[in-house]
């Protein structure tokens, strides 16, 4: 009843360019879906990379823990000569010769 009353005063808006146009509507919706799928794929890639990064970080943490464990097992003093020699070369910007490398390693073995 009320709806019928509402329709009596209806303004004729048919001249407006607003009628459903299946083709155009479909084109817009297709474009939306195309953009959404592209976004979803990008997000998936990102998630995959994040997962990979997390796995690599975990692996690095394990390796670091192992290295610390091994280092604690090695008696103090061993390898210090080579380390200080290498540190000296780095500080001086010096590229060691084969002889210098061998000498440093022999010092370490002793």
Contact pick of 29, 56, 57, 58 for another protein (by CB under 8 A): 29
Give the C-alpha separation, 20 to 51, whole Å: 45
| Site map (CB under 8 A) of another protein, residues 7-26, x = contact | -xxxxxxxxxxx-x---xx-
Question: Which is it for the CA torsion 73, 78, 81, 86, positive or negative?
Answer: negative
Cβ of residue 50: shortest distance to another protein, in angstroms?
A: 15
Site for another protein in 32-91 (CB under 8 A): 32-33, 35-37, 39-40
Give the C-alpha separation, 31 to 18, whole Å: 20
Cβ pair 104, 85 in contact under 8 A: yes
Cα distances (angstroms) measured from residue 102 to each of 31, 62, 98, 105: 67, 32, 6, 5
Using CB under 8 A, count the residues that bind another protein.
28
Cβ of residue 43: shortest distance to another protein, in angstroms?
A: 8
The residue (of 37 and 86) whose beta carbon lies closer to another protein is 37
Footprint on this chain of another protein (rule: CB under 8 A) = 2-3, 5-6, 8-18, 20, 24-25, 28-29, 31-33, 35-37, 39-40
């Amino acid at each position: 009843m009320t709806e019928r009353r509402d329709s009596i005063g209806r303004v004729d808006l048919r001249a407006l360019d607003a009628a459903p146009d299946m083709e155009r509507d479909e084109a817009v919706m297709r474009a939306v879906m195309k953009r959404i799928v592209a976004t979803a794929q990008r997000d998936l890639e990102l998630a995959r990379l994040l997962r990979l990064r997390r796995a690599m970080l975990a692996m690095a943490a394990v390796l670091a823990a192992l290295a610390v464990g091994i280092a604690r097992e090695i008696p103090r003093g061993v390898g210090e000569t080579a380390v200080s020699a290498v540190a000296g070369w780095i500080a001086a910007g010096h590229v060691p010769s084969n002889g210098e490398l061998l000498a440093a390693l022999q010092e370490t073995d002793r």
